[in-house]
Amino acid sequence: MNKLIGSRYWWLYLIILLVALNYLASAFHGRIDLTREKRYTLSQPTKKLLGSLPGDISVDVFLQGDLKSGLRKLSKSTQELLESFQDYGRGKVHFRFFDPLTTLDDSAKKQLVDSLKHMGIEPMTLQAQSKKGEELSERFILPGAIVKYGDRIFPVNLFKGVANTDENSLYNNAEALLEYKFANAINKLTQQTMPAVGYVVGNGEPLDFSVYNLIEGLRKNYRFGIVRLDSLPVIPSAYDALVLVKPTSAFSLQEKLKLDQYVMHGGSILYMIDNLHAEMDSIRLDKETVAYDRGLNLEDLFFKYGVRLNQDLVQDMQCATINFVVGMTGDKPQIQPLPWPYFPLLSGSLTHPISKNLDPVYAKFTNSVDTVRAAGISKQVLLQTSANGRVIGTPAMISFESVKQASDPKFFSRANIPACVLLEGRFSSLYANRLSSGLADTLSRLYHQPYLSQAEKPAKVIVCGSAEIVINEITQRGPAPMGYNKDINYTFANQEFLQNCLDYILDPSGILETRSKDLTLRLLDPKKLEDDRSFWQWVNITGPLLLVLAGGMLYQFLRKRKYQS
């Protein structure tokens, strides 16, 4: 070593060493995640996805420019995440940050914003003040990104579906979902085959514009088909999942047997059921109506699987507001938005990735759901009421008088009433020891689907007590988005909830598990901060000066001691 240092070419060896170190640092680098919630560590499903990318992925992120502190932090976190994606993707992930609105005129800006809104990226209006005393100026911010693979694109809205309580929590929750949103986009773009989803009809299920969003979403994201339960002898095993929405007529023994055997053969079903007949049209017309049983005849099937859909209606203080006519001004009605407890805003699970960190889900005339004993079946509540809910038994009289009680907590004493439950495991057939040998032989011989009394592989069944979660309203402009409340002009997270349910049922990659990531928001104590403000200001000002002074004095002392000796 001394020989190298004493060599006349020491500077050349130093340059070679620095070049080698830089090359090794660029080829092999990483970081140690010391955070308790592993904020900077990618999940195994994401690493597996990135390690097997079939081609290059490009990401255009629009969070750039002069941003508020929360958006700047979100932009920085997005950049760090995509850098990790780039590392694990072996250079196949490319990204850039830019603001597409800066170089466009007003007409082009409007066209771009409208195009991105159609894709699902809603612009935000950012207010800023250049100098104190000047007027506030407004400009659009696009909190989203476009992920591209080949000729396919996938929009990512960083705030869509995110639980929105206050500004700090909004940014924190959006940051917690970054990995899921980008990994999910890449997963969707690179899938070789799309799962098959069937929409079940035959018992009064809607096929009109009220399910336009639902049907179009299924057509876009999956291989889609209509399953006519009343005419098919068996449900084809080619369908990976079924969606059954708002039946209005009773299911026969044969129809329930088809659903039962589909599950026994490994199929999964999403049930969106309105057990009671209750419609707002009747209430607006007659000021009141009676909610009564539809008589769907599904109770025994659900009970066997481990859940009971009750004959009741849920009310909640955490509810949507709707416009009521409260009087007349001359010949014009006086309209006022009032809370309507029959339209609860359901909260998600604290732990399950389907509904964790999700904005409220907008439901109407919801039935409560109870779990019952079923061997080998795990149950997880996906949606529930707030801490201030209650249940109305049937026959239930629904009238506008409920508005008077909507803000009185003494009427809402029941907390966290389940409204949607996930069932998983190897189900047992409702028809075990009940099916004739002749019918069992027919299923096996003619339709090549042998009768099973016990499921041959695990399946998933989701039962929701409100079909209106996936029903969209019809406005003068056409079908509104799923979860849209026209009276407050807001779209809740119904679409995200539905998509998460289908992803959990259909996607074996495990990408959805990244939605359960926790990022703890560690805020400073504002009272303590105010009380100790002066002390910490002096520490910040004098501390560095004292350190420099102490360092200088130590240096002079050591230098003097060295040369005096």
CATH code for the domain in which residue 150 is found: 3.40.30.10
Name residue 545's amino acid: L
- For residue 395, say if its preceding peptide bond is cis, omega within 30 degrees of 0: yes
Does pLDDT of 506 surpass 80?
Answer: yes
* Residues 362, 505 within the same domain: yes
Mean pLDDT lowest among 43-57, 252-266, 464-478, 519-533: 519-533
Rounded mean pLDDT of 186-199? 92
Q: In terms of Cα–Cα distance, which of 327, 349, 354, 350 is closest to 338?
A: 327
Average pLDDT of the residues of the chain: 85
Whether residue 539 lies inside any domain: the answer is no
* Residues 257, 394 within the same domain: yes
- Measured at the CA of 533, the angle between CA 532 and CA 537, to 5 degrees, comes to 120
C-alpha to C-alpha distance for 186 and 424, rounded to whole angstroms = 27
Query: Residue 100 — very low, low, confident or very high, per pLDDT cuts 50/70/90?
Result: confident
C-alpha to C-alpha distance for 458 and 237, rounded to whole angstroms = 15
Rounded mean pLDDT of 97-116? 84
pLDDT at 66 (0 to 100): 78
Provide CB contacts within 8 A for 212, sequence distance 6+: 472, 478, 479
Whether residue 541 lies inside any domain: the answer is no
pLDDT at 534 (0 to 100): 81
* Residues 296, 409 within the same domain: yes
* Residues 326, 439 within the same domain: yes
DSSP letter (8 states) at residue 100: T
The percent helix, strand, coil of the chain (3-state, each to 5) is: 35, 25, 40
Whether residue 538 lies inside any domain: the answer is no
Residue numbers of the domain that contains 411: 196-516
C-alpha to C-alpha distance for 174 and 392, rounded to whole angstroms = 36
513: which 2 tokens?
Answer: 């598990």
- State how many domains the chain has: 3
Q: In terms of Cα–Cα distance, which of 233, 265, 230, 254 is closest to 244?
A: 230
Q: What's the whole-model pTM score? A: 0.82
Query: Residue 2 — very low, low, confident or very high, per pLDDT cuts 50/70/90?
Result: low
DSSP 414-460: B---EEEEEEEE-PBPTTTTTS-HHHHHHHHHTTS----SB-SS-EE
476 burial level (CB within 10 Å; 0-12, 13-18, 19+): exposed
pLDDT at 527 (0 to 100): 66
Does pLDDT of 8 surpass 70?
Answer: no
Domain final residue pick, 516, 537, 558? 516
Predicted confidence (pLDDT) per residue in 487-503, tens digit: 888 889 999 999 999 99
Provide CB contacts within 8 A for 106, sequence distance 6+: none
Whether residue 458 lies inside any domain: the answer is yes
* Residues 367, 343 within the same domain: yes
C-alpha to C-alpha distance for 149 and 58, rounded to whole angstroms = 7
Whether residue 564 lies inside any domain: the answer is no
* Residues 493, 349 within the same domain: yes
Domain final residue pick, 190, 219, 243? 190
pLDDT at 154 (0 to 100): 93
Q: Are 305 and 374 in contact (CB under 8 A)?
A: yes
Domain final residue pick, 151, 168, 190? 190
pLDDT at 69 (0 to 100): 80
* Residues 5, 102 within the same domain: no
Predicted confidence (pLDDT) per residue in 137-170, tens digit: 567 788 899 999 999 999 999 888 676 666 767 7
* Consecutive H or E run containing 399: strand 396-399
**CA 217 to chain CA mean position, Å:** 15
SS3 243: strand
Rounded mean pLDDT of 93-118? 85
* Residues 249, 348 within the same domain: yes
pLDDT at 531 (0 to 100): 73
Residue 354 Cα distances to 211, 322, 487, 505, angstroms = 22, 28, 28, 10
Residue 506 Cα distances to 26, 87, 193, 511, 560, angstroms = 38, 28, 12, 11, 76
Mean pLDDT lowest among 39-43, 100-104, 319-323, 470-474: 39-43
Rounded mean pLDDT of 291-299? 93
Whether residue 157 lies inside any domain: the answer is yes
* Residues 453, 326 within the same domain: yes
Query: Residue 539 — very low, low, confident or very high, per pLDDT cuts 50/70/90?
Result: confident
Predicted confidence (pLDDT) per residue in 383-420, tens digit: 999 999 999 888 778 877 776 666 677 888 899 999 99
- Measured at the CA of 167, the angle between CA 166 and CA 172, to 5 degrees, comes to 100
Q: Are 349 and 333 in contact (CB under 8 A)?
A: no
SS3 137: strand
* Residues 216, 161 within the same domain: no
Does pLDDT of 183 surpass 80?
Answer: yes
Strands (E), 202-318: 223-228, 241-245, 268-272, 276-277, 288-293, 307-309, 312-316
pLDDT at 133 (0 to 100): 52
pLDDT at 207 (0 to 100): 94
Whether residue 457 lies inside any domain: the answer is yes
* Residues 155, 266 within the same domain: no
* Residues 178, 201 within the same domain: no
Q: Are 378 and 277 in contact (CB under 8 A)?
A: no
Whether residue 370 lies inside any domain: the answer is yes
Query: Residue 37 — very low, low, confident or very high, per pLDDT cuts 50/70/90?
Result: low
